[in-house]
Structure 1
């Protein structure tokens, strides 16, 4: 699947995207997203992804809330707090719709273990919230905004009319103008904070952005393989 070019970005975001360009393309080309785009993605695989993503969003929202508490500008704090609420309310509503459509019972969901990758990604964001500076935390949460918008927009462009598509709701959620505006706001905030950071902090921001983007690839890959804990067989 041909990827959309990265949207215009400020200095930090432009460099961060450049440093991760091959990984961004690998995410777009991942078999999970290729199958999502053409509608052939197995419902069980998508259901596994939805359950993991709902659990991930709790940790993501906690990291956003921590960033909001550190913001020194009221408008920035309001944006981050609103994004945290949207992750818990709007995006989880999307998940709930698919859970209902797939007929997943509560005991089925409870029976799906949180995958190693899901736990690793949420633990990474929580660790950034606890131990890293505000600029580094912003860089760590940015890929979840930007990568999803990039993937959703790329799929919509490749697919065209998604009316009747089995994953129409997912595609339109992450490819619509309202989400694009939230992504732009997140990028502009990160660029603003990076511009006043010292060189050492900016390098830490690049490292956090790259690591979180790696987790994005790992997350889709873990859903594609329905990742389990290989050590489970050694436990009672």
Structure 2
């Protein structure tokens, strides 16, 4: 079932959403022609992003107003921890040791994005925090599914990355995420909804910059 609230957030974030999910980094990854150095740099910085993403979800647990919300957030944390382990395995396959991951310097694009997310959580409520991390989860699900359906690059070296975000388990987790954010915002007034939209759009712009970081490197 289409989530109309999420679709509205995406539509009102244009053209940034299009630049995000159709970015040159994504196109090259789907075609299997993305330079290895770009993918490796992205993987390293994404490891740091996921670390702060988990911090954000821990903050969400603190912001929760009832046990039902805590249960949903706990499930999201479990999914993320599984993703982090998968990410470490990815890095190892691409010649990046776990020790190297522990000593990385953050790229300015990663610093800007992750601290923005945490700032939204610190200064706002659970809805504001979830709106800030929504483009990441929702966008990756869309990108993974679309690239898996295109199937235009035989023996794509990045196929495992695509498959992980196209997987049924990830798609199901993101659908639950959408429903959770929608429920958080269902009684918001126009001013509150405008703020949620601003946060979602800003985070989408941050995602564009994150892809560009990989290409620029």
Query: Partners in 2 of 1:68 and 1:42 — Cα distance?
Result: 38
State the shift of 1:138 in Å. 1.6
Counterpart in 1 of 2:125?
133
Q: TM-score, normalised by structure 1?
A: 0.84
State the shift of 1:218 in Å. 0.8
If you compute each CA radius of gyration, which structure gives the higher value, 1 or 2? 1
State the shift of 1:110 in Å. 6.0
Residue 212 (structure 2) pairs with residue 221 (structure 1): yes
Counterpart in 1 of 2:157?
166
Counterpart in 2 of 1:189?
180
Counterpart in 2 of 1:176?
167
Q: Matched residue pairs, number? A: 217
Given that 2:21 and 2:139 are in contact with CA atoms closer than 8 Å, whether structure 1 keeps it comes out as no
Query: Partners in 2 of 1:72 and 1:106 — Cα distance?
Result: 36
Counterpart in 2 of 1:209?
200
Residue 124 (structure 2) pairs with residue 103 (structure 1): no
State the shift of 1:175 in Å. 0.9
Counterpart in 1 of 2:39?
46
Q: 1:9 aligns with which of 3, 15, 28?
A: 3
Using CA pairs under 8 Å that are at least 6 residues apart, name the structure with larger relative contact order, 1 or 2: 2
CA shift in 2, pair 1:80/1:166, >3 Å? same
Q: TM-score, normalised by structure 2?
A: 0.91
Structure 1 stretches lacking a partner, 5+ long: 1-6, 227-236
State the shift of 1:46 in Å. 0.6
Given that 2:117 and 2:133 are in contact with CA atoms closer than 8 Å, whether structure 1 keeps it comes out as yes
Query: Partners in 2 of 1:181 and 1:72 — Cα distance?
Result: 24
Counterpart in 2 of 1:233?
none
CA shift in 2, pair 1:43/1:203, >3 Å? same
Provide the secondary structure at the position in 2 that maps to 1:114.
Answer: coil
State the shift of 1:70 in Å. 2.0
CA RMSD in angstroms comes to: 2.0
